[in-house]
Amino acid sequence: MDTLLDPETRGANRIIPGAVDCDVHPASPAMKELMPYLDDYLSQSVVDRGIEQLTSVHYPPNAPITCREDWRGPGDAASALKRMQTHLLDGMGVGTAILNQMLGIQILFNADMGAAFARGLNDFMAREWLDKDDRLRASMVLPQQSPELCVDEIERLAGDKRFVQVMMLVMGDRPLGHQMYWPIYRAAEKHGLPIAIHAGSMYRHPLTGVGWSSYHSQDYAANAVNFQTTVTSLIAEGVFTKFPNLKVVMSESGWTWLPAYLWRMDKYWHGLRMLTPWVDRLPREIIADNFRFTLQPVDAPPDRAVLEKLMEHVGTEDLLLFSTDYPHWQFDGTECVPDGFSDSQLRKMMIDTPKATYSRL
Amino acid sequence: MNVEARPNPLKTQSVELGIADCDVHPNPASLEDEVFPFIEQKWRDYIATYGMVQRIGFAGGTQYPKGQPRASRRDSYPPEGGPPASSLSFFREQHLDAHNVDMAVMIPLRIGQALQNMDLAVAVCAAINEWQTEFWTSKEPRIKGSIVMAYENADACVQQIEKHAHKDDFVQISMLSRTPDPMGHRKYWPIYEAAAANGLPVGVHAFGYGGNPPTGGGYPSYYIEDMMAHAQSCQALITSMVYEGVFDRIPDLKLVIVEGGIAWLPSLMWRLDKIWEKNRLELSHVKRPPSEIIRQHVWLTSQPIEEPDNRQQLVEAIEWMGWDRVLYASDYPHWDFDDPKRALPVQLTKEQRDGFFRGNAYKAYGLS
Amino acid sequence: MAERQKHVVAKVSDFEGTDRKLVEVKGRPIVIFKKGDEWFGMLDRCPHQGGSLCSGSLISWVESSGPGDYRMSRKDEIVRCPWHGWEFDIRTGVACARPTKYRARPVGVSVVKSEETETVGNLELYDVSREGDLVVVEL
């Protein structure tokens, strides 16, 4: 028996030693924590113009999903890191955690300012998180307002191999397959960096195709439909014809919608193929080659039989990357993997698929 | 010939009883001849002068050119001329008789429920309701109408509902999925109250120009993206209806989602349940788990039906939502038409088959 | 296997002003397409949901080397179903949009094997030829 799968060593949460957790959220820094990392002009502006905390309404700090009750605590980086070590790294036994920093700098309309905040935020992440625990890796935060400035930031940080991917919000100015974003994809492909597309919005448009919601709950639910339209965009625009080696990691996307989505997409492709002839493969083949999905949230009932069926519908064990979405509230206790995954599937999502996806791990 | 074709391995359905088809699209042979007689002269002059403006840049319609002319089957043009499904006799021959349809729900499209000129929208919708009875439902009892309304004007909607709901000609209230505000918004509630009070479901057909980009990330480039996104718009509108508490407020309301696909519903229900569990503070007005509400109040029509290689997987997805939730629809005469013999090519029990092709629809529309 | 027989299905003059004709042989609806001096015959049912190909359009094969690039070839040799728009090569009957593993060779030279119909059936083709003033189907 594979020692990694020995029940003695893996504990009740089924986390395999060395498991890579592909979606973990560090606390967002308060403006005063960030100040030392901002350039002179921006730090003067912050004070002189009274620029306040850039917290996205998408993750209200006190909302239930944003942080599980038993994982709350002081927001400074040192305290937050200590909690993450206690709960996730030491506590649950995660071997490597990939940090997605969700401070809402992408929402600013001023692209230069967005880029300056992105530089400060990435440097903050390197010093205050990555330097402090070598089990940590991070996604580069990009100033999604300007693809050119995104490329500059990728080039600036590419030498630091602890940044293992770049991150974009699923709802931007245009659907993410659009040509305006291709410079980002070119630079990411060149440096072997997957694109993490994470839940969240730049708030340029209503969060659904049918208008602005009344409730936070609706907006959070809307992430799943926006991941779906984003898959359509990335495929229809031919991103993977142009950048065949690009990997996209759909993060906090939900994935139980994927089979039904692909049944529809494959069908439409048969009849409309000639309208976008560069899409020269079945969409599900493109998904298999270029897309990965982080595990949490698992939008399925706690029913082993349903999950097993769902995995049959997904049709491959290679699409999922293990994630806890820590400290977002997606599960209780340490039950980060629902019943219904086989041992071989666990090994794939925790070890093999992350290694294959992230060339920098 | 070196080409050998394997017999199609998929089953075809034989349906003994007459089918209920919950989405067909008769068209006026010409607006001038068939619809304008029901509109005041001043509005005819207005249309001739300014057109019918919606939240879209083109005078003639979509900014995403379709995959086929008029998005219609190429074989659906009547021999006597005119647009697809504009001839009752050919409609009978090619669809009702050919497919043993004994109840077909007509949903008029492209008539501008959401015209920017509100008075014009009200006038056109009223005329379309007269046209449905005059040209279709009074001549062919197998065809049932949908009450169309300028749904940004709830008062006018309620008037149309009160005027027509008691007639056998109509079986539902019609809205389009892409509204300017999500469908749970309370400005639409008077419509739902009137529908429920009259025992009619609200049938929400995909499409419409609400003025919002079809995705939360803006306007996509290609037609296939716009088409695909209807499934997502429908998911968002169900989310809105449930989380806004519409079904808690109006317990007799029935919602039929038309032409958005079906297989995504289980995943949506599971997601909404989980988010609801965690956000009871915000959603205190939603008294039961969303999946329970959906299973009681929401139906989906089958077309365009998802086609996994292994069709049994679609059956499993339907089981997760419940067989009583799905209604067969053909979308005749549109290009993505589903033939009832081929739509669900799997072994079904008699109960499943009769429900899917007939019984569920009669329940949803309150017919016997 | 029953011996194949020749069936006269049309006159050549039937194709003046049109490129197609729907005929019936042994109870099977067969659509005949005429392209220049060439004749093509196939079962008049789309393998997908049964649409009548006789009402379909004949279009070119559209390929692309990348986003924004459209390359046309094989003018009028792809029949597009009048319903869902699925495309088939009228020379080989092969469905154009299909999983990569079944597309080792480019459309137009594939030899179809029965297991290749996994997701998309192919067209059932018939030999059609001209004999004098008559059009003949072998079946």
The yes-or-no verdict on residue C106 having pLDDT over 80 is no
The residue-averaged pLDDT of C31-48 equals: 95
* pLDDT score for A304: 94
* pLDDT score for B5: 37
* pLDDT score for C54: 97
The yes-or-no verdict on residue C122 having pLDDT over 70 is yes
Q: Which among B212, B227, B244 has the least Cβ separation from residue A268?
A: B227
CB contact under 8 A, A269 and B224: yes
CB contact under 8 A, A270 and C67: no
CB contact under 8 A, B309 and C119: yes
3-class secondary-structure state, position C20: strand
Neighbouring residues of B88: CB distance < 8 A, sequence distance ≥ 6: B26, B135, B136, B139, B140
Higher pLDDT, C4 or B256: B256
Best mutation target among B4, B12, B223, B310 (most C Cβ atoms within 10 Å) is B4
Confidence label for A10 from pLDDT (cuts 50, 70 and 90): very low
With beta carbons less than 8 A apart as the criterion, state whether B117 and B53 touch.
yes
The yes-or-no verdict on residue B368 having pLDDT over 90 is no
Range list of β-strands (E), chain B:
19-24, 101-106, 143-148, 170-176, 202-205, 255-258, 298-301, 326-327
- Take residue A53 and report the two structure tokens written for it: 């905390």
The residue-averaged pLDDT of C53-62 equals: 97
Chains touching A, CB cut-off 8 Å, 3+ pairs:
B, C
Higher pLDDT, B326 or A11: B326
The yes-or-no verdict on residue C100 having pLDDT over 60 is yes
CB contact under 8 A, B243 and A174: no
* pLDDT score for C1: 52
The residue-averaged pLDDT of B109-130 equals: 94
Distance, CA of C91 to CA of C113 (rounded, Å):
15
The yes-or-no verdict on residue B136 having pLDDT over 60 is yes
The yes-or-no verdict on residue C114 having pLDDT over 70 is no
* pLDDT score for C19: 96
The residue-averaged pLDDT of B326-354 equals: 94
Confidence label for B111 from pLDDT (cuts 50, 70 and 90): confident
- Interface membership of C70 toward A (CB under 8 Å): yes
The yes-or-no verdict on residue A6 having pLDDT over 50 is no
Confidence label for B105 from pLDDT (cuts 50, 70 and 90): very high
Q: Which among B3, B4, B339 has the least Cβ separation from residue C50?
A: B339
For C57, name the nearest residue in chain B, comparing CA atoms only. Answer: B74
Chains touching C, CB cut-off 8 Å, 3+ pairs:
A, B
The yes-or-no verdict on residue C107 having pLDDT over 80 is no
The yes-or-no verdict on residue B4 having pLDDT over 50 is no
The 8-class DSSP code of residue B305 comes to: P
Chain A residues with beta carbon closer than 8 angstroms to that of C62: 274, 277
The yes-or-no verdict on residue A277 having pLDDT over 90 is yes
What average pLDDT does chain C have?
Answer: 86
Neighbours of C26 (CB within 10 A): 10
What average pLDDT does chain A have?
Answer: 95
Distance, CA of A35 to CA of B344 (rounded, Å):
61
Radius of gyration of chain A (CA): 20
CB contact under 8 A, C120 and A270: yes
CB contact under 8 A, B217 and A233: yes
CB contact under 8 A, B5 and C55: no
pLDDT tens digit sequence for B163-190: 999 999 999 999 999 999 999 999 999 9
Chain A residues with beta carbon closer than 8 angstroms to that of B268: 224, 257
Confidence label for B61 from pLDDT (cuts 50, 70 and 90): confident
| Spans of all domains in chain C | 6-138
Chain C residues with beta carbon closer than 8 angstroms to that of B337: 49, 83-84
- For chain A, domains (ranges, CATH) are 3-357 (3.20.20.140)
Q: Which among C49, C83, C93 has the least Cβ separation from residue B3?
A: C93
3-class secondary-structure state, position A249: strand
Confidence label for B112 from pLDDT (cuts 50, 70 and 90): confident
Higher pLDDT, A227 or C107: A227
Chain C residues with beta carbon closer than 8 angstroms to that of B13: none
Is pTM beyond 0.90? Reply is yes
The residue-averaged pLDDT of C41-56 equals: 95
Q: Edge-to-edge strand order for the sheet containing C71-80?
A: C57-63, C71-80, C87-89
Residue B310 Cα, gap to closest chain C Cα (Å) = 9
Chain C residues with beta carbon closer than 8 angstroms to that of A274: 59, 62, 80, 87
Chains touching B, CB cut-off 8 Å, 3+ pairs:
A, C
pLDDT tens digit sequence for A296-321: 999 999 899 999 999 999 998 999 99
Range list of β-strands (E), chain A:
20-24, 96-99, 136-141, 163-171, 195-201, 248-251, 291-294, 320-321
Neighbouring residues of A198: CB distance < 8 A, sequence distance ≥ 6: A23, A100, A102, A139, A167, A168, A169, A170, A251, A252
Q: Which among A267, A277, A285 has the least Cβ separation from residue C62?
A: A277
* pLDDT score for A13: 78
For B68, name the nearest residue in chain C, comparing CA atoms only. Answer: C85
CB contact under 8 A, B335 and C112: no
Q: Which among B180, B232, B264 has the least Cβ separation from residue A211?
A: B180
Percent of chain B's residues with pLDDT above 90: 91
The residue-averaged pLDDT of C78-99 equals: 91
- Interface membership of C66 toward A (CB under 8 Å): yes
Q: Which of A7-16, A227-236, B209-218, C42-51 has the lowest mean pLDDT?
A: A7-16
The yes-or-no verdict on residue B17 having pLDDT over 80 is no
For B6, name the nearest residue in chain C, comparing CA atoms only. Answer: C114
* pLDDT score for B124: 97
Burial environment of residue A40 by CB neighbours within 10 A (0 to 12, 13 to 18, 19 or more): exposed
Chain B residues with beta carbon closer than 8 angstroms to that of A204: 217-218
pLDDT tens digit sequence for B146-157: 999 999 999 999
- Take residue B49 and report the two structure tokens written for it: 């002068």
Q: Which among C84, C118, C124 has the least Cβ separation from residue B309?
A: C118
Confidence label for C102 from pLDDT (cuts 50, 70 and 90): low
Neighbours of C131 (CB within 10 A): 10
- Stretch (H or E) spanning A34: helix A31-34
pLDDT tens digit sequence for B183-224: 999 999 999 999 999 999 999 999 999 999 999 999 999 999
Q: Which among B210, B225, B270 has the least Cβ separation from residue A301?
A: B270
Residue B296 Cα, gap to closest chain C Cα (Å) = 32
Q: Counting one residue from A and one from B, how many pairs have CB atoms under 8 Å apart?
A: 240
Confidence label for A288 from pLDDT (cuts 50, 70 and 90): very high
> Is CATH 3.20.20.140 the right assignment for the domain spanning B19-364?
yes
Residue B291 Cα, gap to closest chain A Cα (Å) = 11
CB contact under 8 A, C121 and B6: yes
Residue B361 Cα, gap to closest chain C Cα (Å) = 23
For A235, name the nearest residue in chain C, comparing CA atoms only. Answer: C67
* pLDDT score for A2: 43
Beta bridge partners of B148: B174
pLDDT tens digit sequence for A166-176: 999 999 999 99
Q: Which value, to the nearest 10 degrees, does the dihedral of the CA atoms of residues A56, A59, A61, A64 take? A: 160
For C102, name the nearest residue in chain A, comparing CA atoms only. Answer: A281
Q: Which among B3, B309, B338 has the least Cβ separation from residue C92?
A: B3
Chain C residues with beta carbon closer than 8 angstroms to that of A238: 64, 66-67
Confidence label for B354 from pLDDT (cuts 50, 70 and 90): very high
- Interface membership of C48 toward A (CB under 8 Å): yes
Q: Edge-to-edge strand order for the sheet containing B326-327?
A: B19-24, B101-106, B143-148, B170-176, B202-205, B255-258, B298-301, B326-327
For C93, name the nearest residue in chain B, comparing CA atoms only. Answer: B3
CB contact under 8 A, B67 and A176: no
* pLDDT score for C112: 38
* pLDDT score for B11: 66
Interface of A with B in 184-213 (CB under 8 A): 201, 204-213
* pLDDT score for C98: 76
The yes-or-no verdict on residue C120 having pLDDT over 70 is no
* pLDDT score for C105: 41
ipTM of the complex: 0.96
For B307, name the nearest residue in chain C, comparing CA atoms only. Answer: C119
Topology annotation, domain C6-138: Rieske Iron-sulfur Protein (2.102.10)
